[in-house]
Chains A and B, each alone.
Chain A
Amino acid sequence: MAKPMHDTPMLDQLESGPWPSFITGLKRLANDNDMMVDLMGQLETSYETKKGYWKGGTVGVIGYGGGVIPRFTELKDDEGNALFPEAAEFHTIRIMPPPGMHYDTKTLRDFCDVWEKYGSGLIALHGQSGDIMFQGCTTDNVQPAFDALNEMGFDMGGAGPAVRTGMSCVGAARCEQSCVDEGRTMRMLVNNALDDMHRPALPYKMKYKVSGCPNDCMNSIQRADFATIGTWRDDIKVDQEEVKKYVADMGRKKIIDNVITRCPTQALSLNDDDTLAIDNSNCVRCMHCINVMTKALSPGDDKGVSVLIGGKRTLKIGDLMGTLIVPFHKLETDEDYEWLEELATEVLDFFAENALEHERTGEMIERIGLTNFLEGIGIEVDPNMISRPRMNPYVRMDEWDEEVAKWEERKAAQ
């Protein structure tokens, strides 16, 4: 043990400055972990040459097909020997955190003990999909490390063409703006699809994210194939006495400039007696006024969720936002949760059957059109699904009358 340290003049410079330094952490681990000595050697080389030196491969655990991110060094001498052999294998094990990323200290200490025993001692809290990332493991140690974490009650997250680890905001645990039980929703969505997480066989990723209100702290609309956003459909709740206090404290001008005129649909006005008038039928539940006056305003009582489908990052046709496909559905009773679970299953099945290889849900919808997708999953069209109606006249509308009849029928049923 205790291989001599490599010179790392460039990395050393990242130990100065006020922000906590990951390099200082790597060095402490390297004191009695040869893998980290060589990891620092490879990282310093990257800093010198401005090149990355990792390639993927296939490493897994018994029973599962995914969840480990294999990394093998490409930094080798002429004979094919790793220049930094102790870090030649540096795999990551993805583990799913509890919803909201809550922990007690014992659990995190136990994680540390497991990772000191089997891995490098480096843990990222958390990756961009929400996983706890246990970084730096040899191929041989992946199985015993996972077994130890699994025995603690934690399960492998997603990687590759699979359902991925989900994320949910702090939500009902601490936030008064929460409109759903985010933890229950997230667990239900992900645990419903565990087989497709642990045995990757989908065209590409499927991500679920849950935010408890339209502030969308989990960035669901931009990053999740299936985004669940808490909302409400009755009136915003107003405590007019508290409104008056805000006006007294902040002044009329500030309230008018920062609350009234910032309402995107001009649904607010300040009454002469410093109370607030709200045109609730025109409110789009953007959250701004509630965010400013947390004590005076809050979401209504008739709470539920909106569902948006198809958000994703850049690959491969550019960034896509999720599209609203369910404007509102109650999410309170067991039946409500079953409805959401069924919808999620429909979407997953449709994606599995119809997407091309390496195509995300949003890209599939762009290719086949939203109406075909809606038909496939059994959801009726709704004007809330669009920003504006069609502008392109080149379309056949043979079945216009039938479609109008469907609309009339649905309206009559409401």
Chain B
Amino acid sequence: MSSVAQKSGFGATLWDWLTTVDHKKIGILYLLGGLFFFVLGGIEAMIIRLQLITPNNDLVSAGLFNDLITMHGTTMIFLAAMPILFGFMNAIMPLQIGARDVAFPFINSLGFWMFAFGGLFLNISWLFGEVPDAGWTSYASLSLHSPGHGVDFYAIGLQIAGGGTLMAGINFLVTIINMRAPGMTYMRMPLFTWTTFVASAMILFAFPPLTVGLFFLTFDRMFGGNFFDHTMGGNTIIWEHIFWIFGHPEVYILILPAFGIFSEVFSVFARKRLFGYTAMVFATVLIGFLGFMVWAHHMFTVGLGPTANAIFAVATMAIAVPTGVKIFNWLLTMWGGSIKVTTPMLYALGFIPSFVMGGVTGVMQGAAPLDYQLHDSYFIVAHFHYVIVGGVVLGIFAGLHYWWPKMFGTMLNELLGKITFVFFFVGFHMTFLIQHWLGFWGMPRRVWTFMDGQGWNIANLVSTIGALLMAIGFTVMVINIIMTTIKNEPVGNDPWGDGRTLEWAIPSPPPFYNFPATPLVRGLDTLWIEKMEGSKEMITPAEPITDIHMPNGSIIPMLMTLGLFIAGFGAMFHQETSWGLGVLIFGLAFTFVAMAARSLKDDLGYYVTKEQILQDQENSKRGRN
């Protein structure tokens, strides 16, 4: 494929993946990394549910239970859901807008490695036996007094991973602003690109507060700061504000790309243009904006007073309006469509009722008085799992099946896909629906065990069996992935047959330069327009084929991150060891030298020649026939 002389063998392949700056390969790396952490978080969830299967269970200790719930939440949000979505954004979004690459390929790679090493740092805590145990929100009143290094792993690991997220966000924003193909106006962008755009803008404004909050936590725990210690004049509520100013937008950062995936899936498999495209775009932007106006609804019971609570209650409920607009637009997209029930479409169909239920219970808690009743009960657990699993995870699975052929050039098995869906969907509702009632019946969240005779036994048993079904469903999916990969039957450009957007116009997987010639976009659903007009090549080029400028691969992003990883251990141990400070300085210096190496050597990339592109096209045509 690549025009540069390629060495073969395991070492060369490994080196290729470590140094890649190709957005499609980085997308695959994000996907694999995210799936790895998804399995890890899933195992943690299973142990939590097994512990709660019967009253007075002692499968795990109370301390270990705190470790498990903390790591389950942190892992799923930061290391599974977001990276997998980033995987799709990386692999698909540039193709959808007809770009050759993202705006900053080097920084794209850096962002991935920061996620990978940050996640590794967080999870190495298991090997040390000192695991974060203050909840994924890590409220300062708990986290400051958590013994050992558990919370230190949280603060530093998330700092590294969060830096990577911010870089990825800026990268996607610039890509969409500057690198759209001719004719791709903002109001012709596919919905997934739009949601990537808005989610990235939210990342840009939500992650800096997290950065600051984590620094405060790091300073307080490791460097003698007093931000949250009330005996020194500090205030733990500051952490709560900072965390939720980040944390609530984060929920929308996760759900908006999932909305984008569903918008693509509905219009492709209903074989209709998305109903109310303009309203969809407007609703996306509005959700992005309102997402920043509502953080204090997580703090109704803190005692901010009725005025603050009322304002944030109203703002919170307002988000239901654009979300409702979206739900109706999806329904109306299907109305009168010629619906094909494929695996991605099944997830999309299952998503609507599931997510609406999560949304409704969200509005319930948006009412401050009701929130006082439901606060810290299992009702909350049920609510946010309905949103995150019923929205984000179903979206991820839909996207996984939908774009797998584009990313890997082979199709996941449809039958196994549907089996996965049934197990996962039934298991999901079984696990979490009953938890609404557990909350009403008074079961608090985050409890390690419960006593017999409170009427919670059967509900908890049902919930655990549901979790088991979800695990079976996921296992079937892993089997599906393995089988598909071994079989590796190549597919054509548009394996679903009804692709509407640009990514389906080029081979699966796409050549490393994406488009031989930049496409000319003539309207919304570009490829559909070309199909309707009977274009033979499926793409109207905007320019003749010329030499293409490509970036060089680089190992420096990984080395820069390695330095931060090392420095993290130094910061953590500098108080109790003599070598800690040295390691901290060494790690930072290592990163700085890597940065200097990048700055001092001009890396201008290379050119793919016109002849090579024409040869590639010739080969792929011959392969297809």
Task: Tell me, yes or no, whether A binds B.
Answer: no
Interface residues of A (CB under 8 A from B): none
Chain B residues near A (Cβ < 8 Å): none
